[in-house]
Structures are given as structure tokens and as C-alpha cells.
Amino acid sequence: MVPESYYAGLSAILFSIGVVGVLVRRNPLVIFMSIELMLNAANLALVAFGQRFGTVEAQALVFFVMTVAAAEVAVGLAIIVTIFRLRHRLSVDDLSLMRW
């Protein structure tokens, strides 16, 4: 049996990589994918700790996180496509202004 701390460590590594990706990359699509990576890491930690304490409730919470992630990706990608139609450029450095 692999100890749960291994799963928590894997989750922490994936979350850190996601944070660095959000901060370093300029392409909003890659930033969104890094956010997905962070949500996945949080899910993994939830499941690992839930199994550790012998409760199923963590898995219900992960289900809700997945739903919110799906809604967030749908709205976020629509916003990115709309901005691209208006600006014809795709870099978060150009998007510091909230009006155009």
C-alpha cells in the first residue's frame, strides 16, 4: 500500500508547476490549462486525504470542483475568443486595460 503522503506530495508538485505556469506564460490558453492543472492537484489532495480519513465526502467535493472547472473553462474560453476577435492579438501583456 502506497502511503497517502506520497499522493499529497505528487499533488503539491503538480500544484507548484501549475502556479509557475500561470505566472510565467503569456498565452491565455496555456494559462487556463495551468489553472486546470492546479484544480487537478487540489482534487488529488482531496481524494488522498479523504481516503486517509476513511470518508467518501471528499469524492463528492471533487465532483463539485470538476463541475465548476467545466463552467469556468467554457466561460473563460468564450471570453478569450471574444477578445481575440476584437484585438487580433493573443497575449496577456496586451490585456492590462479593462476597456477597449
Partner 1 sequence: MEHFAFFTIAFVAVASALGLVLRRNPIHGALFLVVNLGSVAAVYLMLGAEFLAAAQVIIYAGAIMVLFVFAIMVLIPRTEETSPDPLRPARLVAVPLGAVLLLEIGLIWESPLLSTPGATRPPGDIGSVGRLLFTTYLFPFEVTSVLLLAALVGVLALAKRKAP
The rounded distance, in Å, linking the Cα atoms of 12 and 38 is 9
Angle between helices 28-52 and 4-24 (to 10 degrees): 160
Query: Cell for 96?
Result: 492590462
**Total interface residues for partner 1 by CB under 8 A:** 71
| Residues in 17-76 that interact with partner 1 by CB under 8 A | 17-21, 23-27, 29-30, 32-34, 36-37, 40, 43-44, 47-48, 50-57, 59-60, 62-64, 66-75
Instruction: Work out which of 81, 95, 97, 98 binds partner 1, going by CB under 8 A.
Output: 81
Q: Is 95 in the site for partner 1 (CB under 8 A)?
A: no
Tell me the closest approach of the beta carbon of residue 85 to partner 1, in angstroms: 4
Q: How far is CA 2 from CA 11, 38, 47, 61, 66, in A?
A: 14, 23, 14, 23, 25
Angle between helices 28-52 and 57-87 (to 10 degrees): 180
Instruction: Work out which of 2, 42, 95, 99 binds partner 1, going by CB under 8 A.
Output: 2
Q: Is 94 in the site for partner 1 (CB under 8 A)?
A: no
